[in-house]
Amino acid sequence: MGQVSKNSRTAAATQKFMCSCGGEIKMKTLFEGGKVKNIAECGKCKRTERRPSDFK
């Protein structure tokens, strides 16, 4: 006892992604065709991708 699990904090979804231009990727929610759509947009060059991980 007395051992704290370090895995308990890794669930926080605060992962940051960076664009190739050096800007920060931010998630946006769009309404398209009556559906909610999440996209990732670079705050600097305004490039958009489906997923933050596509900015490579």
* 25 is a contact residue toward Zn ion (CB under 5 A): no
41 strand-pairing partners? 26, 48
Structural contact between residues 41 and 30, judged by C-beta atoms closer than 8 angstroms: no
Provide the pairing of β-strand 25-32 with 48-49. unpaired
Part of the chain binding Zn ion (CB under 5 A), chosen from 1-9, 14-22, 33-41: 14-22
Rounded Cα–Cα distance for residues 13 and 15 (Å): 6
Pick one of 28, 30, 45, 50: the residue that binds Zn ion (CB under 5 A): 45
Can residue 24 be called a binding residue for Zn ion (CB under 5 A)? no
Asked if 19 touches Zn ion (CB under 5 A), the answer is yes
Q: Which residues bind Zn ion (CB under 5 A)?
A: 19, 21, 23, 42, 44-45, 47
